[in-house]
Amino acid sequence: MRNFDAGVRYSLKLCAIACCAVWVVGCSTDPDIAKRKYLQSGDQYVAQGKLKDAIVQYRNAIQRDPRFGEARYKLAEALAKTDDAQGALREYIRAADLLPANLEAQLKAGTANLLARRFDDARQRADKVLTINPTSVEGHVLRGNALAGLRDFDAAVAQIDQAIKADPERSLTYADLGYIQLAGGNTAKAEQAFKQAISLDPKSVNVHLALANFYWASAKREQAEQTLKDALAIDSRNVAVNRALAYLYMALDRKSDAEAPLKLVADETKDTNARVLLAELYRATGREPLALALLDTMATEPKAFALARARKAALLYATGRKPEAYAAIDEVLGKEPKNTIALLARTQLLVSDGNLDEALKLAQAAAADSSSVDARFAIGRIQGARGELEEATKAYNDVLKLAPRFGAAKLELAKVSLLANRPKDALRFADEVLAVQPRSADATLVKARALMVQGNAAGAEEPMKRLAAAFPGSPDIQAQLGALYLLKADTRAAREAYDRALKIETGNVGALTGLTRMDLAEKKGAAARARIDAALAQHPDSAPLLLLAARTDATLGDRAGAERKLRQAIEVAPSDLIAYSLLGQLLATDRRLDEAIAEYEKIAKRKPKSVSAHTMIGMLLEMQGKRQEAKERYEQALVVDSRAAVAANNLAMFYLDTGGNVDVALQLAQTAKSQLPDNPDVNDTLGWAYYKKGLFARAIPPLRESLAKEPKNLRNLAHLGLAYAKNRQSNEAQDVLTRALSNGQNFPEAKEAVEALAALSTSKRPS
């Protein structure tokens, strides 16, 4: 009996456990209960500081109910704490949409939109906040900041005034007012607002920071320093204040003063960037062992490993320990072959070694395996160094697609546009940079140079003089000042500025180029060459100097010297395609066509999509009488770029000369005309294509345009004469054909011209 009772009790226990299990499973299938459990679990993880685990649980809750506003709000908060700004913005907005009466959700969504510079969306969120609570100080402040972002500064100030009326003792509202006044250009009222904030709350570190930032933005660095010191007197270990003070000292090149606050930030936060900056400070002050020790310590942390090794590699390279530098990077790539930080660090080492081709491959690999803005920016820098301006432009535009406010990319686009002789684009990009960074010396210099290219010396003078006063020790600015004076025909002042540049930097190419042009214009070739030779003696491996020397030799008729220096430039910088191109031109001029083709083939091999290389090879082959081979190279160029003007023009003439498809020839000629509307060869080809098509009246205008530029070109004369004849303009035809044939018949259409002229003469004889 006891055994029976025990068995029954055991069976009942099993039954109870089974029933309980069924109940639990039943609960887990109830979406409302399940989502709440996930939410509760996420909250527990947040309390424990386990944000990644919390994010997983909040997302589980949302998966059970996508309209669970509370979970989306808490997910947004967790994402914000992990610095996922885009994810947080997305979830704050969804949470606010799902919780329309939740004031806090609307405020957070509005603030996130404000940080993302989506100012109109931020204003709409502020309107919802003020609908919920018309006296909400935060709502008025949010709306004011949104209006300021929309450049409606008067309305923004009025909105902040309402916030102040709602709570006149809230110091941070005055700080917001100060920022808006500053953005609107009213610095006096901005300073007044910041000081009012401090008077209301003299112990507030945040309002002291706001005033210090104002002083820094206004270039009042002494006041900024004192205000930050006042904040430290309130809280000596405040991370934000110490960080700001460290950055201020670094900007003022007061490295010894920067060390203490920077070290506090690094020690308190273990922030990777702060520690890297501290290592850089150690290196800059001659304490490499300390820098290396700090970076090695950081490398023991998985999150900091790649960056620490990358900075160590840069430090080792800078101190001449190249093999160790490469080894430090290769250690990372051995473990993480696709690590973007390591790939770009190795790219920089290769660039420093002049190995641009290998550097480009690595940067492209980094860009292919990630959405890295830095990788695309590196591609732009490398392509610019290779002389591939269109490729550089494309890379920088790719950067701006990912990061529209990336100022450095806009600045580089301005520089590239200037090199590509697009001064309007250069001005536009420089102005965009200056709108955000009005004190940017680089952008100011580019703008001045672009104005000078446009011949606007008056417009360039003020920014150039301002730069020269601010940076008297900059050789590039002195060289550009010389170019400005040269544009104004003040040769004495130009020489003085160029000489100042060379005293600072003996190999400054800008100054040497300016002085060389002046010397050559004044028939002082020997002086120009002597100056360049002296610079080369000090900088024998400078590719830009070698190119300048080659151009000077060629101008002075020393073609052997020019060739020798171009080959030296290629030896020094084998990835720079400009030297190959110049050498090809030189050899072609000397009728050394096979050698010239070989140089352009090197370019085509390095860059198969080089339109200019394929086009030049085609032209050289034509000079050798190899027209069929030339045709194939023009076709290759047009495969790369269907608007390649010279290739289109030359291929069109090939079809016209060889009885090819006239319709295709006309289309190609029109393509060339759209790109090079004033080129005489292009106009002649277009006119001749119309002639071959039987459109004689349409042929005449472009043929006239061609002859206006080249009135003695026999073939072009014949083309126009034949068009006149077919269009029954006999007098004009006879005059033009007579001129064409009076200088010989060494052109393809000579026989046709003779026959046409004879027919015209016969028709005019009296019967």
pLDDT classification of 15: cutoffs 50, 70, 90:
very low
CB proximity list for 164: less than 8 A, separation 6 or greater: 170, 173, 174, 177
Residue 170 has pLDDT above 70, yes or no: no
Query: If you average pLDDT over each of 152-166, 427-441, 479-493, which comes out highest?
Result: 479-493
Residue 713 has pLDDT above 60, yes or no: yes
CA atoms within 13 A on the CB side of 683: 19
Q: Decide: helix, strand or coil at residue 627.
A: helix
Mean pLDDT, rounded, for 46-54: 85
Q: Using CA of residue 175, residue 180, residue 185, residue 188, what is the dihedral sign?
A: negative
Residue that wins the pLDDT comparison between 556 and 597? 556
Residue 397 has pLDDT above 50, yes or no: yes
pLDDT at 12: 29
For residue 161, the tally of other CB atoms under 10 A from its CB is 14
Residue 3 has pLDDT above 70, yes or no: no
pLDDT at 184: 61
pTM of the predicted structure, to 2 decimals: 0.58
Are the C-beta atoms of 555 and 520 separated by less than 8 Å? yes
pLDDT classification of 641: cutoffs 50, 70, 90:
confident
Residue that wins the pLDDT comparison between 307 and 357? 307
Q: Which domains does the chain possess?
A: 202-269 (1.25.40.10), 338-395 (1.25.40), 712-767 (no CATH)
> Residue holding tokens 């900075």?
311
pLDDT at 745: 67
pLDDT at 502: 92
pLDDT at 181: 56
pLDDT at 167: 61
Residue 23 has pLDDT above 70, yes or no: no
For 48-62, 508-522, 572-586, which range has the lowest pLDDT when averaged over its residues? 572-586
Closest CA to 101 of 128, 138, 141: 128
Long-range contacts of residues 371-376, Cβ cutoff 8 Å, at least 24 apart: 371/402, 372/340, 372/344, 373/399, 373/402, 373/403, 373/406, 374/340, 374/344, 375/340, 375/343, 375/344, 376/402
| Helix ranges, 116-186 (H) | 119-132, 137-149, 153-166, 171-183
Closest CA to 59 of 25, 83, 94, 96: 94
pLDDT classification of 25: cutoffs 50, 70, 90:
very low
Residue 298 has pLDDT above 70, yes or no: yes
Residue 521 has pLDDT above 70, yes or no: yes
pLDDT at 499: 93
Residue 571 has pLDDT above 80, yes or no: no
Q: How far apart (Å, rounded) are the C-alpha atoms in residues 252 and 441?
A: 16
Distances (CA, A) of 539 to 354, 387, 511, 533, 561: 15, 21, 15, 10, 18
Q: How far apart (Å, rounded) are the C-alpha atoms in residues 559 and 568?
A: 14
∠74-77-78 over CA atoms, to 5°?
90
For 14-18, 153-157, 498-502, 631-635, which range has the lowest pLDDT when averaged over its residues? 14-18
Residue that wins the pLDDT comparison between 733 and 217? 733
What percentage of residues in the chain have a pLDDT greater than 90?
25
